[in-house]
Amino acid sequence: MIDRQQAFTGTKEVADALWLDTAQLAAYLAQHVQGFAGPLTVKQFKGGQSNPTYLLETPARRYVLRRKPPGKLLPSAHAVDREYHVIRALHGQNFPVAEPLAYCDDESIAGTPFYLMSFVHGRVFWEPQMPGSYATERGAVYNAMGEIIARLHSFDPAAIGLSDFGKGEYYVARQVDRWSKQYRASETEKIDAMERLINWLPQHIPPAGPARLVHGDYRLDNLIVAAQSPEILAVLDWELSTLGDPLADFTYHLMVWHMPHSESIAGTASLIGQDLVSLGIPSMADYVDRYVARTGLDPRPHLSVYLAYNFFRIAAILQGIIGRVRDGTATSEFAPTEAKMIRPLAEKAWEFVQQH
Q: Considering the chain, tell me which residue range(s) the CATH 3.30.200.20 domain(s) occupy.
A: 4-118
**pLDDT band at residue 10 using 50, 70 and 90 as cut-offs:** confident
The mean-pLDDT minimum among 14-28, 81-95, 248-262, 310-324 falls in 310-324
Taking residues 185-199, report their average pLDDT: 93
Distant-in-sequence contacts of 263-267, Cβ < 8 A, 24+ apart: 263/2, 264/2, 264/334, 264/337, 264/338, 264/340, 264/341, 265/2, 265/4, 265/7, 265/334, 265/337, 266/332, 266/334, 266/335, 266/337, 266/338, 266/341, 267/2, 267/337, 267/338, 267/340, 267/341
Q: What is the DSSP letter of 259?
A: P
Distance, in Å, from the CA atom of 170 to the CA atom of 272, rounded to the nearest integer, reads 32
Amino acid at 174: R
Assigned CATH class of 4-118? alpha beta
Pick the CATH number of 135-355 from 3.90.1200.10, 3.30.565.10, 1.20.1060.10, 3.30.2270.10: 3.90.1200.10
Taking residues 129-149, report their average pLDDT: 97
Report the pLDDT value the prediction gives residue 266, as an integer from 0 to 100: 46
Residues 87, 97 contacting (CB under 8 angstroms): yes
Q: Which residues are within 8 A (CB) of 166 and not within 5 positions of it... i.e. 6 or more apart?
A: 211, 242, 243, 244
Q: Considering the chain, tell me which residue range(s) the CATH 3.90.1200.10 domain(s) occupy.
A: 135-355
Distance, in Å, from the CA atom of 44 to the CA atom of 24, rounded to the nearest integer, reads 17
Tell me the backbone φ, ψ of residue 63, rounded to 5 degrees. -135, 170
Tens-digit pLDDT profile for residues 206-258: 998 899 999 999 999 999 999 999 999 999 999 989 999 999 999 999 999 99
